[in-house]
Structure 1
Amino acid sequence: MGTIPLTVTGAEALRNELHEMKTVHRPAVIAAIAEARSHGDLSENAEYDAAKEKQGFIEGRIAELESKLSIAQIINPALINADGACVFGATVALEDLQNGESVTYQIVGDDEANIKNGKISISSPTARALIGKYEGDIAEVQAPGGVREYEILSVKYI
C-alpha cells in the first residue's frame, strides 16, 4: 500500500479522532462490558452483546486511523510552490460556465473531503479535471448529468 496524501489540517483531525477513540470511547466501552458482565448470564445478555459489538467497531476504527496516519504523506499547502498550477492542497476558485455560479474548493485527501466545507477529494472527478491546470484555463468535468465546464478564476496555496 502506498502513501495517502493529507493536508496538515486533515492529519490533525485524524490524530484528534484517534486520541478521542483511545481516551474516551475505548474506556467507556470497557466499563460498559464490565457493567454488563456484572448482570450474570452472558448467553442472553443483550447489553453485553451490544457493548462487545461496539468494542469491535472502536478497535477497528483505532486500527484504521493508526494505519492511515502511518502511511500518510502530510502536505502543507502554504509551503507549496507549484507556479500557479492546481495541485493537491490548492484552493481553487471556479466559475461554472453554464450558470455563472462561482465556487471555491480545496483539493484534499479522501478522508478529509467534505463538499459542505468546500473540500473535494483528490480522487473526485472535479479535482482530477483541475489537476495541472492554471488560472484562466477551462476544466471539463464529467458529471452524471453530462460534461460541465468550469473556468479557473484563481489558484491559492493557503
Structure 2
Amino acid sequence: MATDKVFPMTQAGKEKLEQELEQLKSVKRKEVVERIKVARSFGDLSENSEYDSAKEEQAFVEGRITTLENMIRNAKIIEEDAISGDSVSLGRSVTFVELPNGDEETYTIVGSAEADPFEGKISNDSPIAKSLIGKKVGDQVSVQTPGGEMSVRITSIN
C-alpha cells in the first residue's frame, strides 16, 4: 500500500485549513444541497442547467473536503525550534535581491498545503524555495524559473 504524502505546515496553516474544512462541511455543503433541491423543482433534469451547475459545485465541494481532510490528517507541523538557525528553511522568511540590480522580494517558505504567493508564502516545492533552502545571508543563488534563470543575493532570513 502506498504511504500518504506528508504535508509540512505551520500550526497557523493547519488551523486555516481546519477552518476552511469546517466552513465547507457546516455551511457550503448545506447550501449546495439546497440548490440541488431547488433545481430539481424546475422539472426535466436532462435540460436543467441549474441542476447541472449545482451538481458540479457539489462534486467540487466534496472533493475539496476530501483533500482538506487528507492534508490535515497527514499534516506535519513545523516546530518553531526546528526553524532556528541562520540558513533558509521551511517556516522561515527570506529576503533577497534580484541581481544585478533588481527588486527586493520577501517570501516565507511553507509547505505546499499553505502556499499562497499573493500573501508572500511560497511552497517548499517551488523552484525558488528549492534553490534557497540551506543557503545563508550573503549567498548568491541561481534560481531556475519558468521564465529562465535568475540570480539573487540573500539579504536576510527571519
TM-score band by shorter chain is 0.7 to 0.9
Q: Which residue of 2 aligns with 1:147?
A: 149
Residues 58-112 of structure 1, C-alpha deviation per residue, up to 9 Å, x if partnerless?
Answer: 1111111111111111214x43344211110110111222224211110012232
Check conservation: 1:98, 1:148, Cα contact below 8 A: no
Structure 1 residue identity aligned to 2:87: A
Distance (Å, rounded) in 1 between the aligned partners of 2:47 and 2:150: 57
Q: Which residue of 1 aligns with 2:87?
A: 85
SS, match of residue 80 in structure 1: helix
SS, match of residue 22 in structure 1: helix
Which piece of structure 1 moves more, 81-90 or 17-26? 81-90
Q: Which residue of 1 aligns with 2:77?
A: 74
Residues 7-57 of structure 1, C-alpha deviation per residue, up to 9 Å, x if partnerless?
Answer: 222212211111111111100111122222334443433322322222111
Counterpart among 107, 110, 113 of residue 108 in structure 1: 110
What RMSD in Å do the two structures reach over aligned CA positions? 1.9
Percent of paired sites with the same residue: 45
List aligned pairs for 1:117-136, cutoff 5 A.
117-136=119-138
TM-score when normalising by structure 1: 0.87
Distance (Å, rounded) in 2 between the aligned partners of 1:112 and 1:81: 17
Number of residue-to-residue matches in the alignment: 155
Distance (Å, rounded) in 2 between the aligned partners of 1:48 and 1:7: 39
**Structure 1 unpaired stretches of 5+:** none
How far the C-alpha of 1:145 sits from its partner, in A, is 4.2
